[in-house]
Every structure is written in structure tokens, then in C-alpha cells.
Amino acid sequence: MMEPIKNAIIKKVTEIFDPIYLDIINESHSHNVPKGSETHFKLFIVSHVFQSQSRIQRQRLVYDLLKEEMSQSVHALSLRLLTNEEWEASRKTPAPASPPCHGGSK
């Protein structure tokens, strides 16, 4: 299956953040959108770039990087952004589940 938006996000994130861990999940199927949509994503990045950055600063970096996708097709982006050290400390804790969609019929 072609996933141009997901692939564009992976390419940009990899080039800028050089992550030691990257996971991107298309959660669009859980929302009231056409089959095959790329509108809702969960993005988990572990990168040294986040060192000395607050959570808000990290989010701004990612949103600035993905502003084109956010302005055109991506409706929601759930972010988990950690430094290498935070990743090592949290490896025993699973990622939180995304909240259920309240905007559609599913």
C-alpha cells in the first residue's frame, strides 16, 4: 500500500532528528475518514536533538518541520518525543494509548 504522507514524515524526521528510535503509526482507520486516509498519526521519536529542550520546544520543532503536512492532509498528530537518556529510563513503560475519536461515527 502506498503511504506518501507517512513516507514524507519519516524522511523529514530522519533527516533532521537522526533518531535512535522512530515509530510512526497511521491511526486514521480509527476515525471517520475514507479508507486508506493518512490524516491521523502517532509519532514517537527518540533523538539527541531534544537534549536541553522543553516538551513544548520539542513539539514546536516537530510541528515546524511538518507544517506542510499539517496544513494539507494531516489532521491530528500525537507526539512522544524523548532524549536518548529519557528513552533508556522509560523503556519499561509502554507508550500511552491514543484517546478515542469523538469527531465521527466510529
13-52 pLDDT, tens digit per residue, is 999 999 999 999 988 877 767 687 777 899 999 999 999 9
pLDDT in tens, 88-103: 888 766 666 777 776 6
Of 92, 106, 97, 94, give the one whose Cα is nearest residue 37.
Answer: 106
Is position 102 within any domain? no
Of 18, 15, 8, 11, give the one whose Cα is nearest residue 69.
Answer: 8
Amino acid at site 98: S
Is position 16 within any domain? yes
Distance (Å, rounded) from C-alpha 43 to C-alpha 79? Answer: 5
Instruction: Give the count of domains, the chain.
Output: 1
Is position 30 within any domain? yes
Distance (Å, rounded) from C-alpha 90 to C-alpha 69? Answer: 29
- Assigned C-alpha cell, 86: 529519557
pLDDT in tens, 62-73: 999 999 999 988
